[in-house]
Amino acid sequence: MDDITSRALVSDPETRRALQLDALSAILPMERRDRLAELLTDDDVATLKHLAQEGMGENSLRALASDLAYLEAWAQAAIGAALPWPASESLVLKFVAHHLWDPAKRETDPQHGMPSDVAAALRESEMLRSTGPHAPSTVRRLASWGTLHRWKGQEGPFASPSLRSALRLAVRAGTRPRQRKSKRAVTRDVLDRLLATCRSDRLADTRDLAILLLAFASGGRRRSEVARLRVEQISDEPAVPLDPKNPQSPTLACMSIQLGRTKAGMADEARRVLLVGPPVEALREWLERADISKGPIFRAIDRWEAIEERALTPQSINLIVKRRCALAGLEAREFSAHGLRSGYLTEAAQRGVSLPEAMQQSQHRSVQQAASYYNEADRRLGQAARLGV
């Protein structure tokens, strides 16, 4: 290719963006590279590259890129222009009205919900597949929109009373039930069944035992946090007494994990959780057997039990949980890695651990979300549902 042709290609906006997206090939789905290059603006691509350099998790960045592409496609279809920064409150309310609407009202008012021309344009661009109102999880795209505003140092309308009111009304009018990330929680009884499948001398068993214990006991860590955990994030702590009320009781090994950047917040030296007892022993055994002293903690193992340099992916963590469920005789489809997170809070509620103490370990920012597990436990153990017994 001569210099003139090369310069002509790079001067084409879509080609230029596609070449820039190549730098993110390890994160973004490259089979969609050309489509992303067509939908995203130069500023969008620059923002994604910046977030990758800042260390945003791969899953979060992938979801953000997908959400941003959808928002750009919707803006082109709805207002005939790229997303404005900052977004106006009226534009965000229009997005809510287009996606969260009442099917019953649509039958008598064809203008209610997403206009047919907007829906047709989104389907043509393969960005829209549903024919009815979106699930309340569509709010995730609003969260991504707000996150991008913050990264750009701009104020958005996402905390405005009118938007909050509109979301409450739209979700209330919706008929689609909220789906749990894991149908069933991995509570302690379930966890014990999974751990029982990890008792051989195989390296994979040693690794998976450490993964399950650490993910659960550290507050139900997200699969992305477990996957990217590094040796540099863990520190030995003084042993703690088995019985906190008796300093003379036997002691348990203790370790701290510096979480760094998480889904709910930025890197913060204060954001750490503790591991006590068996999870510490399992993690130390894995690190010793795998001869890992730096870098990623949980790594792939090949068929000859050779340990690879690369870290496990978040999806691998999910598959490990499902595989252990199958080995334990459980229905793997009902469980996912997120079940460890919901299971931790459910177990804490059942054992009488206070909500603030459990949240300190789980690092939930939303009291409402964390409390939902406690409310469910209270209902299961309470008398109101047992009056017919």
Where is 241: in which H helix or E strand? strand 234-241
Q: Which of 69-83, 174-188, 374-388 has the weakest average pLDDT?
A: 374-388
> Which backbone phi and psi does 255 adopt, to 5 degrees?
-145, 150
DSSP tag of 273: E
What's the burial of 340, exposed, middle or buried (CB within 10 Å: 0-12/13-18/19+)?
buried
Output the CA torsion sign for 145, 148, 152, 157: positive
Whether residue 86 is preceded by a cis peptide bond, meaning omega within 30 degrees of 0, is yes
Mean pLDDT estimate for the chain? 79
Q: Residue 2: is its pLDDT beyond 50? A: no
Q: Which residue has the higher pLDDT, 16 or 107?
A: 107
Q: pTM of the full predicted structure?
A: 0.58
More confident of the two residues 234 and 131:
234
Q: What is the pLDDT of residues 166-177, one digit of tens each?
A: 776 665 555 554
Candidates 74, 58, 48; CA nearest to 148 is 48
CB 166 within 8 A of CB 93: yes
Stretch 206-233: mean pLDDT: 93
Range scoring the smallest mean pLDDT among 7-11, 219-223, 332-336, 341-345 = 7-11
Cα four-point dihedral sign 132, 138, 142, 147: negative
Task: Tell me what pLDDT residue 256 has.
Answer: 92
Instruction: List the one residue out of 53, 13, 17 whose CA is nearest residue 32.
Output: 17
What the block records as the tokens of 335 is: 């469980």
Q: Report residue 226 as tokens.
A: 């477990």
Q: What is the pLDDT of residue 10?
A: 46
Work out the average pLDDT over 310-318: 90
Do residues 230 and 258 lie in contact, with contact meaning Cβ atoms separated by under 8 Å?
no
DSSP symbol at 277: S
> Per residue in 112-147, is it b (16+ CB within 10 Å) or e — as a string?
bbbeeebbebbeebebbeeeebbbbebbebbebbbb
Q: What is the pLDDT of residues 269-298, one digit of tens each?
A: 457 889 999 999 999 999 999 999 999 999
Residue 268 has pLDDT above 50, yes or no: no
Q: Which residues contact 190 (CB under 8 A, 6 or more apart)?
A: 184, 330, 335, 339, 343
Task: Spell out the domains of the chain, with CATH numbers in brackets.
Answer: 3-173 (no CATH), 188-382 (1.10.443.10)
Task: Look up tokens 């998480």; give the residue.
Answer: 262
Identify which of 73-82, 117-126, 199-208 has the greatest average pLDDT.
199-208
Cα atoms in the Cβ-side hemisphere of radius 13 Å centred on 297: 26
Question: Over 90: is that where the pLDDT of 152 sits?
Answer: no
User: Which pLDDT value is given to residue 266?
Assistant: 44
Residue with tokens 């996912």: 336
Q: Per-residue pLDDT for 36 more than 50?
A: yes
